[in-house]
Structure 1
Amino acid sequence: MKTVVIHSIHPREGKTKIAKELAGFVQLQGRQVILADLDFIADPHRRALGLPSKPNLEDLLQEITKQSDTKPFFDIQFSKEQLEEFFLNHQSGLKVLSSENSKKLANDEDIAQKLRTTVRNLKKMPYDLLILDTDSSNRDYNQVVLQEADLVLIVMDNFRYNVKDLVHYLRDLNDMGYDTDHFRIVLNKIPNPLQIPVEELEKESGLKVMGIIPVLSGSISPSYDTQTEDIHLIVSQPEKNPSFVQAIGSVVDELGILS
C-alpha cells in the first residue's frame, strides 16, 4: 500500500480538501483507500464527509495507551478487523479514520510514539492507498508521520513569503537529520504570474511540483441536510468542476497509484 502524507507549513492552505478529494478520486476508480485524519487540532474530515463523530482517532489512541501498559509501542499490533472497528464508512466506500477536535493530544508526551504505532498498523492493511492528513505544525509527532510516508505532498501557493518559509522549513528538517527527498509540492491555486514561477519554486526548494489544483468555481451544493461546507466529494460530480477534478486526476497519475 502506498502511503501519502498531505502537509502544509501554514494553516488554511487547503490540504484537507485536497486530501479528501485525492482519496475520493482513487476510491471512485475502484481502489480501496483509507483516509486518516491525524489533525486533532481541527476536525476536518468528519465534517467534510458528513460522517458521525464516533469512532475516531482518539478512541484508537486510547486503546494504544492501554496496551502500552503491558508492551512496548513497537510491539502493539492490530488485526485488520480490529482496526476497522475505528473506521467510519463513507457512501463512496472510502474508509475514514476521523479525528475529533482534541487539542489536548498534542501535549501527550507519548503522542509521537502513539501516532507512529497508528501509522505503522495502518500501513499493514490490505488496501491500495493510505492518505494521512496532518496539522500544519512542526511538532515531533508530525515529523514522525512525515518519515513514515512514501511521499509527502506540501500544499501551498507560490507567494514569495511562502516559498521562503518552505525553504527554511526544509532546511530545519534536514538539520535535525530528517530526510526530505520524498517531499513534493502541490500548488493550491493557479500560479500568480507576479509571484515566483514554478521553475524558480522548484529550483529554490529542490522539490518537484506534482500538480496545480485550481480554486473551485461556483458554489458547491451539499449532499446532506447540513450547514457544513463541502460536505461531499467534489470528484464525485466531475461535470460541475471539470478543471478541479482533472487537476486531482493529474496528481493521482503522478503518484502512479492507478497504474
Structure 2
Amino acid sequence: MPTMKNAPFTPLHSVADSVYLYVSVQGPHISWLTHALADLGSVTTVAVDENTVGERVAMLHPQCVFLDFSDVDAARAGRIVDLLRRDWPEVLLIGTGRETDTQCTLLALRSGVDDFVFVSASNEAVQSVMQALMVRRLSDREKARGRTIALLGARPGLGVSTLASNLAVSLQEMRNAAQAQPQAANRLAQRLGVVLLDLGLPARDGLLYLGQESSFSFVDGVRNLKRLDQTLLQTALAHHPSGMALLPLPASLAQIKEVSHAESVSLIRRLSDFYDFLITDLGGFSTVDFVAQSVRDAEKVWVVCDQSIGGIVSTSTLLRELRDRGLDTQHFALVLNKYSPSIGLPASDIAARLGIPLGHVIPDRSTPLLIAASKGELISRVARNDPYVTALGGMIRSLGPWPGGTPSPSAGPGIWARYMAQLIGKWKS
C-alpha cells in the first residue's frame, strides 16, 4: 500500500554506499529519488525498456530497483516486473508515482511490486519502506532457507566423504518417511530434500561411494546461478536412489579456477532456498579462503579428525588459519572419527588440544565400512545395527527439528521415532 508520510524511520546503516536503479525518464522524479537516497548510495537511471533494464541489473547488481509507473503503459511495466521476478528474485522492487494519479498507483500494486511510494514522500518515508522490506525479506529468507551443515577435514583420509555420504542419505530417507505422513506431506512437497555438495578431496569420492555419475558440476551450478529453479535442479543434478541430490566438483579440477570464492558461496546460499539440508563435504579442501567463506553461513560446522598425529596437527593448523580469518571456531564441534580407546588418546584431550568443543565420537569401523563399500552400498543402509550407524544417529538427533516445522527425528511416537530407532538398531517390528 502507499506509504504514510509520517512512517517511523530507522537509518539504513547496513546498506550505505549501495547502488539503486531507477527505471524512469521523469526528470523531477529522478531528482527526488536521488535526494531521498543521497546518504545511502548512488541512484542510476535507466529507460523504461525491459532489455535495457535487464542489462543494467546484471551489470550493477542494485540493492533495490525503483520502477516509475508515471506515463508507462501496463504491458511494458508488466514485462519489466516479470523480467525482474524471473531473473533477479532477490532484488527488491518498489513502484513510484504521483499521489494524484490513482490509476498509476493501482497499476503498480497490481503488477506485483514489493511496495509503492509517492514521489512526494519524504526522505525518511522512502528509507523506511526500504528498511521494512529488507527486514521482511530477511525474515522470509531465514524461514524458507534450509540448513547448511559443513564437514571439514584438514587432509584427505580422515573419513569426511564417507561420513557426509551416510549422513546425507540417512537424512533423505528420514524425509521420505516423514513425507508419507499427511500432516507433513504438503509442507515438504514445496521444497526439495537433501543435497550433498561433494567438494572434498580426493575429488568426487562422494559420487564413487554412492555409485552415481554426474556431468553437472559445482562449477556448472555457479555458471547457471540465475537460472536455478526446482526443475533445473531435479533434472541436472545426479540423484541417489533415496532421492538425495549430489553436486560434485568438476572432473577437471582446473575448472575451479574459473569461478570466484564469492560466486561459489552465492551458489551455496541459493541452493539453501530449495533444499531442506545442504551437507557440504569440505574434507581435504586445500583453499582455506573458500573454506572460511563457506562455513561463515553454515548453521553447523563439524570438524572431522582422527587420533593420528598427522590428523591432529593438520586440523590444528586449519583451525588456526580459520581463526586468523576472523572465524569464531568455538561454534564448531569436533567429530572424532575412527576412534579406538586402545590408542590412549582420549577424545576430550584431542578436543582440548584443538580448542573446540567435542561434538561426537565415531568408532573405528574400517572393516564393516570396507565390506559395505565392496557391495556398492553405504553402511547406514546395509548394517543398521553397526556402532558406526549408532553414532551417526546421534549426529542426526543433534540437528533438532526438520526445517519448516516437521517433527524432530527424536520425537515420538510415530514414524519418525520408529525410523530413527530402526536406523540405530533398536526398533523391532
TM-score where L is the length of structure 2: 0.51
Counterpart in the other structure of 2:160: 15
Counterpart in the other structure of 2:195: 34
Residues 46-195 of structure 1 mapped to structure 2, 5 A cutoff: 46-64=207-225, 76=226, 78-108=228-258, 110-125=259-274, 127-136=275-284, 137-195=286-344
- CA pair 194-216 structure 1, distance change in 2 beyond 3 A: closer
In 1, Cα distance between equivalents of 2:222 and 2:379: 30
In 2, Cα distance between equivalents of 1:113 and 1:230: 39
Aligned letter for 1:128?
A: D
Aligned letter for 2:270?
A: N
State the 1:139 CA deviation: 3.0
* 8 Å contact kept, 1:158–1:195: no
Identity %: 26
- CA pair 18-257 structure 1, distance change in 2 beyond 3 A: farther
In 2, Cα distance between equivalents of 1:216 and 1:28: 24
In 1, Cα distance between equivalents of 2:401 and 2:386: 21
* 8 Å contact kept, 1:7–1:155: yes
- CA pair 196-176 structure 1, distance change in 2 beyond 3 A: same
State the 1:53 CA deviation: 2.5
- CA pair 140-132 structure 1, distance change in 2 beyond 3 A: same
RMSD: 2.4
In 2, Cα distance between equivalents of 1:10 and 1:79: 34
State the 1:230 CA deviation: 6.4
State the 1:19 CA deviation: 0.2
Unaligned runs of 5+ in 1: 65-75, 223-228
Aligned letter for 2:325?
A: M
Which structure has more relative contact order (CA 8 Å, sep 6+)? It is 1
* 8 Å contact kept, 1:158–1:187: yes
Alignment of 1:206 with 2:350, yes or no, is no
- CA pair 256-206 structure 1, distance change in 2 beyond 3 A: farther
Counterpart in the other structure of 1:243: 387
Q: Which one has a larger percent helix, Structure 1 or Structure 2?
A: 2
State the 1:99 CA deviation: 3.0
- CA pair 22-210 structure 1, distance change in 2 beyond 3 A: same
* 8 Å contact kept, 1:41–1:103: no
Counterpart in the other structure of 1:220: 371
Larger Rg: 2
In 2, Cα distance between equivalents of 1:209 and 1:232: 29
